[in-house]
Structure 1
Amino acid sequence: MRSLWDLPDWMPRTGETLPRPCGLDFDAVRVAADLAVPALTALGPNTGPVLANHTTRTYFFLVKPGSVLPGRWTLGVRVMPHGAIIGIPPIGITSGRDIHWAIPPGRGTTYADDLKRILTGALPSAAIASRPGSNASAVTAAPGRAAAQTRSRPLSPALLAVGELLLAGHSEAQIAQALSRPLWTVRKHLNNFGRLFDAPNPARKAAALLAGGHLSPPRPQMLAPDLAPTDLAVLRVLAGIARDVELPPELRPTGRFLDHVDDLRERCGARTDPHLVALAAAWDLLPTLTHPTPGKEKP
């Protein structure tokens, strides 16, 4: 067991969670849970300190101060500004719904450039959008186009089973339990969706499954809520069928976008971001995801 005095200087030595400012001892990257969990898997055993808050469904990746380069990342991710306060819990707080360590200090180091590559997707379009001087807003993620490329390649029953539970709002662990499969197998299938559909996050994987006619959206348990035009714009960007320039200025950069998505999940009764996309498609709020495909009738 690590001695308390081997911990970084900014770690609490008592049993209290203490406020610490970003930019002094660490930089922090706030990541939505649906993006953070696959990123942890991709980073592997050398991942540095990571905080989790299951109440707000966010993770904070702590990296070397000054190592986060300026520029846009992706929707669902926010580089915390210098001076922003984050609660740092004691080393032994590794569970619970509020702030705790998903990865405590001492295990490894997260490099900011690796984290950015993983979260933005190591794909040609993402690489171009992240180059200095490029206009990231001009790149449109189109799950319909990506799905169209795979319509001639039917998905296996195993992939379809995972996809159906993803659309229903199940977590990776719940999918593994429901299918009696190891967690690593479920994650492999979800990664396959990402490669097949050019989909960097779970919400866009769900959109691609629907747009390609591979699966139908789940049956909603409630009528569609009244949504404002801004709500619909957020849904389109979340699903990857619109560019972020469609969002109001106050939702750019992405920090408040995450808050708006959280609010929409609650109002729509959605368990996860993929579930939110699937419900919106079922309510015909995202009609481009439910157009009939050749040889398949619209549900």
Structure 2
Amino acid sequence: MTARAHTRSLLGRWDMPPWTSGSSETLPARCGEDFTAVRVPADLARPALTALGPRTGPVLANRTTQTWHFLLPHGSILPDDWPYGVRVMPKGRPIGIPPLTTTGGRDVHWAVPPGQGVTSPADLHRVLNGPLLPAAQTEPPLASTAPARVAAPAKPRPLTPAQLKVGRLLLTGASDTQMAEELKLPVGTVRQQLNRLGRRFGAPTAARKATALLAGGHLSPPPVQMLAPEVTPADLAVLRVLAGLAADDHLPAELRSTGLFLDHVDELRERCGARTDPHLIALAAFWGLLPNLFNPASGKEQP
């Protein structure tokens, strides 16, 4: 892609990039060649998009994988210290580019179509590290922390009925939209409840919300008929780090790169039949792979 194709106009708009087309199909484009892509978990991406407002350039969303991609101009100078769970996609990694008219659905679609603005890397970095993530402000990135403290106090304060309903669906891998449909609530109300859970537990990611719900004795993992797959010591280390039960220095050295760690999480989700990261944590707890969250033999949460 030429520099001219990405030139910002005097009105602050990003010219329509050449990797978009009038095709009616989702076509691959390569990160680092056509654009710079920053992958953000959905529960962080939504408030970031609100905070960025009209300054936002193209953004892809995928409700099935619960991940969003902020597409920045090729050659953007990026900060190094992104929040935990955020990944700058490696050069050459293909991602699907849907038709410009695809602005909804469960699979990849445009949250913000091209041609409406430019996302500044500095602005994206600022909002992802800013007040929209109150839990992340009090908890340094996992790479530099001791194992997260997720055990509940002796007499945990009960959650509200609404929080329990949302939390129970979170553990099954339901999306925000599916929760709203099941509970007959607006999607915004569901997201408010999820944000409140995050603030209460100091849980900046959806996976850690699941951990806190289970470790605190608020909910049990939903039972499943599938037997646990065979797992390796590396798999167990990845599960504990994802759950916030261990720092990433407990990972094998080859998995301490954020990108390789997230790739391993993706592979574990597929192997375990998990819809989302919280669902993966719930499955692992039910199977006894995270025994400090749930005791499958007794059917009761650990004290």
Q: Equivalents in 1 of 2:84, 2:281: separation in Å? A: 18
Q: Equivalents in 1 of 2:49, 2:291: separation in Å? A: 33
Distance 1:41 1:251, change over 3 A: farther
Shift of 1:165: 1.0
Is the 1:143–1:197 Cα contact (8 Å) retained in structure 2? Answer: no
Cross-structure match for 2:40? 31
Distance 1:297 1:210, change over 3 A: closer
Normalising to structure 1: TM-score of the pair? 0.78
Cross-structure match for 1:217? 221
Distance 1:297 1:222, change over 3 A: closer
Q: Equivalents in 2 of 1:266, 1:22: separation in Å? A: 23
Q: Equivalents in 1 of 2:106, 2:161: separation in Å? A: 35
Moved more, 164-173 or 106-115: 106-115
Query: Are residue 124 (structure 1) and residue 130 (structure 2) matched?
Result: no
Query: Are residue 196 (structure 1) and residue 204 (structure 2) matched?
Result: no
Which of 70, 79, 82 is residue 88 of structure 2 equivalent to? 79
Cross-structure match for 1:139? 145
Is the 2:31–2:89 Cα contact (8 Å) retained in structure 1? Answer: yes
Which of 115, 126, 143 is residue 124 of structure 2 equivalent to? 115
Cross-structure match for 1:133? none
Q: Equivalents in 2 of 1:227, 1:50: separation in Å? A: 35
Query: Are residue 280 (structure 1) and residue 284 (structure 2) matched?
Result: yes
Cross-structure match for 2:239? 235
Distance 1:43 1:159, change over 3 A: farther
Query: For this pair of structures, how many residues does the alignment match?
Result: 281
> Taking every aligned residue pair, what percent have the same amino acid on both sides?
58
Shift of 1:193: 0.9
Which of 288, 294, 300 is residue 290 of structure 1 equivalent to? 294
Q: Equivalents in 2 of 1:83, 1:298: separation in Å? A: 45
Shift of 1:93: 3.9
Which of 68, 74, 83 is residue 78 of structure 2 equivalent to? 68
Which of 205, 211, 222 is residue 207 of structure 1 equivalent to? 211
| SS in structure 2 at match of 1:51 | strand
Q: Equivalents in 1 of 2:250, 2:87: separation in Å? A: 19
Is the 2:82–2:125 Cα contact (8 Å) retained in structure 1? Answer: no
Shift of 1:225: 1.8
1:166-221 CA-to-partner distances (Å, cap 9, x unmatched) read 11221111111111111100000000011111111111101011111111111122
Moved more, 271-280 or 27-36: 27-36
Q: Counterpart of 1:8 in structure 2: which amino acid?
A: M
Q: Counterpart of 1:66 in structure 2: which amino acid?
A: S
Q: Counterpart of 2:20 in structure 1: which amino acid?
A: P
Normalising to structure 2: TM-score of the pair? 0.77
Cross-structure match for 1:8? 16
Cross-structure match for 2:10? none
Cross-structure match for 2:113? 104
Is the 2:55–2:120 Cα contact (8 Å) retained in structure 1? Answer: no
RMSD, matched Cα: 3.4
Shift of 1:72: 4.8
Moved more, 25-34 or 225-234: 25-34
Is the 2:148–2:247 Cα contact (8 Å) retained in structure 1? Answer: no
Is the 2:57–2:71 Cα contact (8 Å) retained in structure 1? Answer: yes
Q: Equivalents in 1 of 2:105, 2:178: separation in Å? A: 18
Query: Are residue 255 (structure 1) and residue 264 (structure 2) matched?
Result: no
Moved more, 47-56 or 248-257: 47-56
| SS in structure 2 at match of 1:62 | strand
Unaligned runs of 5+ in 2: 1-13
Is the 1:143–1:211 Cα contact (8 Å) retained in structure 2? Answer: no
| SS in structure 2 at match of 1:160 | helix
Is the 2:64–2:275 Cα contact (8 Å) retained in structure 1? Answer: no
